[in-house]
Amino acid sequence: MAYVIEGSTGPWEVVIGLEVHAQIISKSKLFSGAATAFGAGPNTQVSFVDAAFPGMLPVINRECVAQAVRTGLGLRAHINLVSRFDRKNYFYPDLPPGYQISQYAHPIVGAGVIEIELADGSTRSIGVTRLHMEQDAGKSLHDQHPAKSYIDLNRAGVALMEIVSEPDLRSPEEAGAYVRKLRSILRYLGTCDGNMEEGSLRADVNVSVRKHGEPYRTRCEVKNVNSIRFVMQAVEAEATRQVAVWESGGTVDQETRLFDSGRGETRPMRSKEDAHDYRYFPDPDLFPLVLDEGWVEDLRRALPELPDEKRARFIREYGLSAYDAGVLVAEQATAAYFEAVARGRDAKQAANWVTGDLFATLNRTGRTIEDSPVAAAALGRMLDLVADGTINGRIAKDVFDAMVESGEAPDAIVEQRGLRQVTDTGAIDAAVAKVVAANPDKVAEYRGGKDKLFGFFVGQVMREMKGKGNPGLVNEAVKRALT
């Protein structure tokens, strides 16, 4: 079902294009040797280059270039062997040189694609227009002094990738899925940590609305949205606002807006600047960036298995549904955990335990899979105990809970708590006899044709046996006793 906004004049389609800023994982900055670690004291990670002292020259960081190329390859994009750095000129108190070094006309990465996955299991290909490298600016701090603003230049010069999408997205859900997938790819590649709370990944959300079949209308850009939920909310709020503007006879002006998450609305920040406002020109301090084709190929060969490939493999090798596979590959650590449990075992069972009980436990305890209270080997061992009949599927839940609580091994829990499955038909028959004797009226009803009561007897017998009866044998014994 296509996403539309119902206005008084009928349905409106929403058009979205995202510009994502991703901080490159690298020990030092794009053009200086200063450190990039998050959370250091203000202005402790600033070189003379970052502070734009006169006569300082930028020197490009090879690792940052490699990271941008890896990312381009991961987005199945064209790598431009020749790219160039430009100066984007503007005044800002936290931008000491008065310009940002960026790539404008000749970015390092050209067109690529991101496959997004939607809740109904379907996928769509979203075009990536380009990826370019640029420096981050510093930070103005307005909350440190009643009358003064302070400047922290730690972030100045940190390497960013700007990843621009085509206006291919059509709903808040798709916009959210795009950021989620992009973040997943970046994390697999190890090129950006994707941490939106710390600002290492932030999105500018471009939104317009149109009637079906029309050319695109004017868009507005919502700046610096820092969570996936806010991206989705910003799309919804901004599209709804634009529909109201058009329907009241007004026109949407191209402008830059901010999303106020408290109020769930966007408000104007400034009228949109055009490229010519920045007086772009090639940075005279930097040569064009020329990449060696063999070096790019080396990077390509060293890429890890990426989410799309892993997802396809999980479907093929483990027979998982597209949905389960997508959930399991979203994070590398989850995929690795799943594979450790599934290898040599019933993979669907493994997937059910990981996406079911384990995820629920992690959510409840606020833990990540890396510090899961139940290790993959322990969960695997528990599945072995089910497979070889030591415990039944019902008791497995209790064993799992006990593993979460105590951190003990499944075998120890089964032995200490006496949870072995009972296959002794004598014991099962005794339990059946007890239940039959206690429920003469129900027995009569069953024999009188009320078949549905069969489940009641099985349940009672299981209860009598504290859940440990072998389900198949219990079924047979109940059948024998009642007929």
- Site residues for ligand ADP per CB under 6 A: 15-19, 164-167, 206-208, 216, 219
Residue 173: burial class (beta carbons within 10 Å; 0-12, 13-18, 19+): middle
- Measured from the CB atom, the residue of 148 and 276 that comes closer to ligand ADP is 276
Name which of 7 and 42 has its Cβ closer to ligand ADP.
7
- Smallest separation, CB 218 to ligand ADP (Å): 7
Decide whether 102 or 470 has the Cβ nearer to ligand ADP. Answer: 102
SS3 assignment, position 317: helix
Using DSSP, state whether 305 is helix, strand or coil: coil
How would you class 454 by CB atoms within 10 Å of its CB: exposed for 0-12, middle for 13-18, buried for 19 or more? Answer: middle
Closest distance between ligand ADP and the C-beta of residue 121, in Å?
A: 26
Helix-then-strand count for the chain, H and E: 16, 16
Q: In this complex, which beta carbon is closest to ligand ADP, that of residue 84 or of residue 219?
A: 219
Q: Which is nearer to ligand ADP, 280 or 456 (CB)?
A: 280
Q: Which residue's entry shows tokens 């994982």? A: 25
Q: Which residue is nearest to ligand ADP (CB)?
A: 17
> What's the min distance (Å) between Cβ of 208 and ligand ADP?
3
Three-class SS of 195-226: CCCCCCEEEEEEEEEECCCCCCCCCEEEEEEC
In the complex, the smallest distance separating the C-beta of residue 299 from ligand ADP, rounded to whole angstroms, is 26
Q: By the 8 A CB rule, do 170 and 18 touch?
A: no
Q: Are strands 220-225 and 255-260 parallel, antiparallel or unpaired?
A: parallel
User: Shortest distance, CB of residue 114 to ligand ADP, whole angstroms?
Assistant: 12
Q: Which amino acid is located at 304 in the chain?
A: P
| Cβ proximity to ligand ADP, 65 vs 175, nearer residue | 175
Q: 354 pairs with which residues across the strands?
A: none
Give the whole-angstrom CA distance, residue 149 versus residue 4.
Answer: 44
In whole angstroms, the minimum distance from the beta carbon of 231 to ligand ADP comes to 13
Residue 130 or 468 having the CB closest to ligand ADP: 130
- Least Å distance, CB 401 to ligand ADP, is 47
Q: How far is the CB of 112 from ligand ADP (least distance, A)?
A: 13
Q: Whose Cβ is closer to ligand ADP: residue 17's or residue 157's? A: 17
- CB of residue 172 to ligand ADP, shortest distance in Å: 13
Residue 217 C-beta: closest distance to ligand ADP, Å: 6
Rank residues 164 and 453 by Cβ distance to ligand ADP and give the closer one.
164
Sole residue written with tokens 């549904």: 321
User: Rounded to the nearest 5°, which phi and psi values hold at 117?
Assistant: -115, 130
Annotate 240-263 with DSSP letters as a single string. HHHHHHHHTT--PPPEEEEEETTT
Q: How far is the CB of 419 from ligand ADP (least distance, A)?
A: 57
Residues 341 and 27: their CA atoms lie apart, in Å, by 35
Give how far Cα 428 sits from Cα of 119, 384, 464, Å.
45, 24, 9
Q: C-alpha dihedral over 98, 280, 134, 228, to 10 degrees? A: 100
Please state, in angstroms and rounded to a whole number, the distance separating the CA atoms of residues 193 and 200: 7
Question: End-to-end alpha-carbon separation of the chain, Å?
Answer: 52
Nearest distance in Å: CB 96, ligand ADP? 24
**Are 246 and 208 within 8 A, CB to CB?**
no
Q: Which residue, 239 or 289, is less far from ligand ADP as judged by CB?
A: 239
Task: Decide: 30 and 61 in contact? Cβ < 8 Å.
Answer: yes
**Comparison of 16 and 379: residue with beta carbon closer to ligand ADP:** 16
Residue 425 β-bridge partners: none
Check: CB of residue 196 under 8 Å from CB of residue 20: no
Beta carbons within 8 Å of 214's beta carbon, 6+ residues apart: none
Residue among 113 and 164 whose Cβ is closer to ligand ADP: 164
